[in-house]
């Protein structure tokens, strides 16, 4: 079943007296448990597309239907609820709160949920266990490496077990070893929880983990391929 359906999506941004078309007639569907890379050069529309799927922005024309909700038709309150309950975000720059500890940064994602303290603690500790950071719960972000910060961000995005996780260049600031660790963690969560992951990336290292690769070019889908890893495992991607 499709959990994301994008039909004839157009996104235009006002620029000067005219418009810049960042997405131009995009049609895509995503099913449950997909692990997809959205690739393409800088400026091709990756972030714009993730923002619309994540209900942080709205279509100019066409539609994006996420978990049966049409993004264009949601009120602010409804889109906040959709994000809060069902969508996790991971950003290139981690976006951790510097004055809070690792534990508090992850817990923060649950504060708007109707959960008691015991349940919340259990969920936070489980999420930190997924990313292998239970020994750092009291550390603040400035005491952590880039890879560890990104693992906290993954824990924060996953703690509410969202159906969809959107990651915008999640490995852009990481070295190769940390990038692989991050991807292996997400791969494991994808398999265990059936979370749908969509990664915007132009990092070659990310590609070989993907089960599907969608290439964007000038705001349009240029290519959309399913990757069969048993056939491509000998290929150098
Ligand atoms: N708020 C905005 N106003 C004007 N132009 C924008 C805005 N956001 C993005 N764009 C333009 O849309 C294009 C696609 O941007 P983006 O989705 O960020 O690309 P990518 O993430 O693939 O690098 C770029 O040319 C960018 O300059
Ligand atoms: Mg971008």
Please report, for the domain that includes residue 187, its CATH number. Answer: 3.40.50.300
- pLDDT value for 101: 98
Whole-number Å distance, alpha carbon 59 to ligand 1 midpoint, is 14
Q: What is the dihedral of CA 168, 174, 178, 181, to 10 degrees?
A: 10
Q: Is residue 16 part of a domain?
A: yes
38 in any annotated domain: yes
**Which residue in this structure is represented by tokens 């994006």?**
64
Residue 81 belongs to a domain: yes
pLDDT single digits (tens) 55-103: 999 999 999 999 999 999 999 999 999 999 999 999 988 999 999 999 9
Mean pLDDT over 208-221 rounds to 96
177 pLDDT tier (thresholds 50, 70, 90): confident
In the three-class reduction of DSSP (H, G, I as helix; E, B as strand; rest coil), residue 107 is classed as helix
Average pLDDT for residues 195-200, to the nearest whole number?
Answer: 96
For residue 171, give its domain range. 2-232
Q: Domain tally for the chain?
A: 1
Of all ligands present, the nearest one to the C-alpha of 51 is 1
Cβ density class 143-172: b for 16+ within 10 Å, e for less = ebeebbbbbbbbbbbbbbebbbbbbbbbbb
Residue 237 lies in a domain: no
Q: How far is the CA of 192 from the centre of ligand 1 (A)?
A: 34
Ligand 1 mutation pick, 18, 40, 42, 48, max ligand atoms within 8 A of CB: 48
Q: Please tell me the distance from the alpha carbon of residue 67 to that of residue 29, in angstroms, as a whole number.
A: 11
């Amino acid at each position: 079943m499709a959990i994301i359906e994008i039909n004839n999506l157009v996104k235009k941004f006002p620029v000067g007296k005219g418009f810049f078309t960042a997405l131009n007639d995009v049609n895509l569907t995503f099913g449950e448990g997909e692990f997809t890379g959205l690739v393409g050069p800088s400026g091709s529309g990756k972030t714009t597309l993730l923002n619309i799927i994540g209900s942080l922005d709205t279509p100019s024309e066409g539609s994006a239907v996420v978990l049966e909700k049409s993004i264009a038709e949601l009120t602010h309150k409804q889109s906040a609820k959709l994000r809060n309950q069902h969508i996790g975000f991971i950003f290139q720059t981690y976006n951790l709160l510097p004055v809070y500890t690792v534990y508090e940064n992850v817990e923060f994602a649950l504060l708007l949920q109707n959960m008691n303290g015991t349940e919340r603690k259990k969920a936070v500790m489980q999420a930190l266990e997924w990313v292998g950071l239970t020994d750092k719960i009291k550390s603040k972000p400035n005491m952590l490496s880039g890879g560890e910060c990104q693992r906290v961000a993954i824990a924060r995005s996953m703690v509410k077990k969202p159906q969809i996780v959107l990651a915008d260049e999640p490995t852009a600031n990481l070295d190769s070893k940390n990038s692989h660790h991050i991807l292996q963690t997400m791969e494991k969560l994808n398999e265990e929880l059936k979370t749908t992951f969509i990664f915007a990336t132009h990092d070659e290292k990310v590609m070989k983990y993907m089960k599907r690769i969608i290439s964007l070019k000038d705001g349009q889908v240029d290519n959309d391929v399913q990757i069969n890893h048993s056939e491509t495992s000998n290929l150098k991607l």
